[in-house]
């Protein structure tokens, strides 16, 4: 009987240690995800590779398509966007000159299209102007990483790739972009125009956070609006999805 009691005490202790370890662990995972609703098949596929319950919040970094706001970096400090509450504590810890502009997120599809898949998690929505310099993107990425390095966070680069090209030309451009991502050639990525992607600053900021977290990326999906059954073959948008873990 005494042996059973001792074994039971040991079992309880082991369970407590396991629970404490899990609670104290932090986890950062990154996704590159399209924000074009045409690509919902790829978006759903990449989100199926993560368990949203593993994360305290979701950071979404994407382009400021409409150029709203007076600063290069804009976020929302509203209580919620489309049933997703804002993670204000993480925002406050990002030590960077960021403008609050809640109204932008009512129409900015680089953010709200992603919210269809975040299962009402806490979010940190950040949009960047197209002229946001590479050096500033690298600085911002370090500030974001320092703000979340002790948390469990899913970080998303909301980016579409080649625009307005024939399907043949689009796949050629995508091959160049894929190679640059694999090489982590930030100088060349920053110089890419809309023939290649819609927000080099968003992609660089995201990838530098992945570098700080020591995560490596894997290409998961590659498609095109025409291949997804929408539009013309001579005027397309292409999509790449990655997971960094």
Report pLDDT digits (tens) over 19-71.
433 444 789 999 999 999 999 999 999 999 999 999 999 999 999 999 888 88
The per-residue DSSP string of 100-113 comes to E-GGGGGT-HHHHT
Domains assigned to the chain:
28-244 (3.40.830.10)
Give the pLDDT score at 104: 80
Give the pLDDT score at 6: 44
Give the pLDDT score at 97: 83
Angle at which helix 200-212 crosses helix 134-148, to 10 degrees, equals: 40
Q: Do 178 and 240 touch, CB atoms closer than 8 A?
A: yes
Residue 4 binned pLDDT confidence (cut-offs 50, 70, 90): low
Judged by DSSP in three states, 4 sits in helix
Distance of CA 19 to the CA centre of its chain: 28
Average pLDDT over residues 181-205: 98
Give the pLDDT score at 2: 54
| pLDDT of 143 over the 90 cut | yes
Give the pLDDT score at 14: 44
Q: What percent of the chain has pLDDT over 90?
A: 71
Question: The tokens of 221 are what?
Answer: 């999906």
Of 231 and 128, the structure prediction assigns the larger pLDDT to: 128
Give the pLDDT score at 222: 98
Q: Do 184 and 211 touch, CB atoms closer than 8 A?
A: yes
Give the pLDDT score at 107: 85
Question: Taking CA 143 as the corner, what is the angle to CA 158 and CA 50, rounded to the nearest 5 degrees?
Answer: 40
Residue 1 binned pLDDT confidence (cut-offs 50, 70, 90): low
Distance of CA 239 to the CA centre of its chain: 14
Q: Cβ of 83: how many Cβ atoms within 10 Å?
A: 9
Taking Cα atoms as reference points, which of 232, 231, 244, 76 lies closest to residue 145?
A: 244
As a whole number, the mean pLDDT across the chain is: 89
Beta strands 153-158 and 28-33, pairing class: parallel
Residue 150 binned pLDDT confidence (cut-offs 50, 70, 90): very high
């Amino acid at each position: 009987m005494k042996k059973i009691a001792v074994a039971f005490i040991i079992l309880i202790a082991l369970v407590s240690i396991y629970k404490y370890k899990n609670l104290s662990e932090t986890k950062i995972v990154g996704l590159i995800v399209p924000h074009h609703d045409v690509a919902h098949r790829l978006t759903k596929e990449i989100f199926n590779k993560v368990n949203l319950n593993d994360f305290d919040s979701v950071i979404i970094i994407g382009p400021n398509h409409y150029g709203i706001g007076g600063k290069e970096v804009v976020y929302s400090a509203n209580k919620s966007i489309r049933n997703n509450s804002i993670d204000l504590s993480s925002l406050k810890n990002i030590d960077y000159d960021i403008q609050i502009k809640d109204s932008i997120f009512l129409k900015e599809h680089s953010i709200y299209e992603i919210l269809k898949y975040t299962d009402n998690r806490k979010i940190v929505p950040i949009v960047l102007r197209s002229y946001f310099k590479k050096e500033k993107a690298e600085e911002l990425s370090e500030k974001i990483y320092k703000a979340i390095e002790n948390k469990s966070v899913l970080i998303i680069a909301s980016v579409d790739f080649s625009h307005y090209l024939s399907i043949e030309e689009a796949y050629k451009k995508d091959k160049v972009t894929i190679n640059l991502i694999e090489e982590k050639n930030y100088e060349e990525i920053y110089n890419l125009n809309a023939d290649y992607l819609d927000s080099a600053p968003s992609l660089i900021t995201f990838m530098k956070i992945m570098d700080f977290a020591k995560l490596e990326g894997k290409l998961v999906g590659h498609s095109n609006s025409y291949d997804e059954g929408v539009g013309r073959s001579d005027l397309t948008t292409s999509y790449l999805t990655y997971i960094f873990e």
